[in-house]
């Protein structure tokens, strides 16, 4: 699915989800799970191209981070999911750890906005993301980062429900398997995203 959308710098934001070492760096706790798919799409190269282009075009960057794990995070919860419990056991994105720091190529830059950390998959649920976007009069969001079939998809679905125009960049994300990437982009995305573009298609549409 493609869309001839033009992206007005004053109404568009890039949402970069979970640019942590644990996802994006060799030695990260989740890097082995996403490495094959990430390498197949040249993920780091695509993310560098997109972040450079949007900043050059005056589009604001919002860093949308997952909660940094601490021991006992879910000990008093009634309904933690198996995924949450597994991540807590491993201490993915652990607070005050290297894995919970930004990948050096994708760390926030001056003028970027760091959103409150999300506990589940949605960057909107129980965070200030919607408020921050509305205060900037943002109508269009572009999603990149990790991972395609969880945090990217859930954040995109939530954005659609809130009335935003949603663009996914199919080669600026990764997943634990090629099957998960296929499901995220070819099966699920058409139900909520307005545009599913390659990095090259996005770059051609961005303001310069």
pLDDT of residue 1: 46
How far apart are the C-alpha atoms of 198 and 135, rounded to whole Å? 29
pLDDT of residue 72: 87
Q: In this structure, which topology does domain 12-72+80-205 adopt according to CATH? A: Rossmann fold (3.40.50)
Torsion from C-alpha of 20, 26, 30, 32, nearest 10 degrees: 150
The tokens describing 98, both together, are 């290297």
Per-residue pLDDT of the chain (208 residues), as tens digits, is 445 578 999 999 999 999 999 999 999 999 999 999 999 999 999 999 999 999 999 999 999 999 999 998 888 889 998 888 888 888 999 999 999 999 999 999 999 999 999 999 999 999 999 999 999 999 999 999 999 999 999 999 999 999 999 999 999 999 999 999 999 999 999 999 999 999 999 999 998 8
The tokens describing 34, both together, are 């996403």
How far apart are the C-alpha atoms of 90 and 140, rounded to whole Å? 35
The β-bridge partners of 144 are: 16
Sign of CA dihedral 128, 133, 139, 142: negative
Q: What angle do helix axes 31-40 and 43-56 make, rounded to 10 degrees?
A: 70
Whether 103 contacts 48, CB under 8 Å: no
0.85 cut: is pTM over it? yes
Residues 6+ apart with CB under 8 A from 84: 74, 119, 120
Whether 190 contacts 1, CB under 8 Å: yes
Whether 11 contacts 133, CB under 8 Å: no
């Amino acid at each position: 699915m493609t869309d001839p959308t033009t992206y007005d710098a004053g109404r568009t934001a890039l949402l970069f989800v979970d640019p942590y070492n644990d996802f994006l760096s060799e030695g990260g706790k989740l890097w082995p799970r996403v490495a094959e798919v990430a390498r197949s799409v040249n993920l780091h190269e695509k993310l560098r191209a997109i972040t450079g282009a949007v900043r050059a075009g005056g589009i604001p960057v919002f860093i949308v981070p997952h909660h940094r794990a601490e021991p006992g995070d879910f000990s008093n919860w009634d309904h933690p999911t198996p995924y949450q419990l597994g991540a807590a056991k491993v201490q993915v994105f652990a607070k005050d750890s290297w894995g919970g720091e930004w990948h050096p190529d994708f760390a926030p830059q001056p003028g970027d906005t760091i959103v409150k950390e999300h506990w589940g998959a949605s960057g909107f649920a129980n965070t200030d993301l919607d408020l921050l976007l509305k205060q900037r009069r943002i109508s269009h969001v572009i999603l990149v980062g990790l991972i395609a079939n969880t945090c990217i998809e859930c954040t995109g679905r939530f954005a659609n429900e809130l009335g935003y125009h949603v663009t996914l960049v199919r080669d600026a994300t990764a997943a634990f398997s090629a099957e998960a990437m296929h499901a995220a982009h070819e099966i699920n995305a058409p139900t909520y995203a307005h545009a599913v573009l390659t990095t090259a298609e996005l770059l051609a549409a961005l303001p310069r």
